[in-house]
Amino acid sequence: MSRVEVLPSPAALAARAAEEIARLVAAALAEQESFTLALAGGSTPAACYRQLATRPLAEQIAWDRLHIFFGDERAVPPEHPDSNFRMATETLLAHVPLSADRVHRMEAEQADRDRAAREYERLLRTHLVAGGKAPDDAPRFDLILLGIGTDGHTASIFPGTEQQAAGPELVMPIFKEEDGSWRLTMTLPVLCAARAVIFLASGAGKSEVVRQILAGSDAAPRLPAARIRPVQGELLFLLDQDAAALLEQPR
Ligand code: 6PG
């Protein structure tokens, strides 16, 4: 079951996303010891991360009970401008009381990408428990944040790589044809095992792909972002008005 919320602006989208993340964290930590969160990369989440690092939310979240992971990473060092880890550090991780042993960077710059993928998979299996009807017995995140590319990719699962990313691996190297770059990405079994997935999409450039994904168009099943359907979890699309511009208006 997916829910869609449309916010009036990118700033409102960022605030709503941060508020929802804080709400999910608080609800889960009322029942369990820790909370596992996988961050999205790209540019859209940056404003949301800044909100999480700002009062009041920064003071409401029990950072010392979170484990932070990354849904994907570019094959660049952590200080590189393209690094998702760098973006998350600059907007969030450097500004909240999170010990380094709770931030699990995806070392996609390693020359042996397969080894790096196996190392990250081991981390997932160490810190997360499998459970429920998760596909391939995949470990279950409490929350995974995802963006949507204009081609329908999510994390680093690009159109044409869906079979590769279908499991049983939980993390794998993926080659991005468009720019000839390598990435590491979590795969569909992990993304679909989460207790909650929140997609963030902003801007008119995403309106057509959002329409395809949400309208269930015949193109949708092929799009990677349309394949993220948590087996036993919540799915929320948080969009700003521009990204939602082509959605059928409720009558
Ligand atoms: C990445 C992300 C990727 C991103 C989308 C949207 O590493 O780039 O994992 O899936 O979420 O490409 O990116 P924008 O938010 O920059 O539009």
Tens digits of residue pLDDT in 56-94 = 999 999 999 999 999 999 999 999 999 999 999 999 999
Q: What is the dihedral of CA 173, 174, 178, 179, to 10 degrees?
A: 0
Closest atom of ligand 1 to CA, residue 71: 9
Q: Is the CB of 83 under 6 A from ligand 1?
A: no
Compute, in angstroms, the gap from residue 182 CA to the centroid of ligand 1: 14
Q: Is the CB of 185 under 6 A from ligand 1?
A: no
Q: Is the CB of 40 under 6 A from ligand 1?
A: yes
pLDDT at 231: 87
Compute, in angstroms, the gap from residue 47 CA to the centroid of ligand 1: 14
Compute, in angstroms, the gap from residue 84 CA to the centroid of ligand 1: 9
Q: Quick check: helix, strand or coil at residue 217?
A: coil
Q: Which amino acid is at 109?
A: E
Phi, psi angles (nearest 5°) of residue 89: -65, -45
- pTM (2 decimals)? 0.96
Kindly report, residue by residue over 205-239, the tens digit of the pLDDT. Answer: 999 999 999 987 676 678 999 999 998 899 999 99
Going by C-alpha positions, the residue among 5, 100, 84 that lies closest to residue 43 is 84
Measured N-to-C along each axis, helices 84-91 and 45-52 cross at an angle, to the nearest 10 degrees, of: 40
Ligand 1 binding pocket mutation candidate from 156, 185, 188, 207 (most atoms within 8 A of CB): 156
pLDDT at 134 over 90: no
Closest atom of ligand 1 to CA, residue 200: 15
Gap between the Cα atoms of 116 and 111, Å rounded: 8
Going by C-alpha positions, the residue among 47, 40, 95, 42 that lies closest to residue 68 is 40
pLDDT at 173: 98
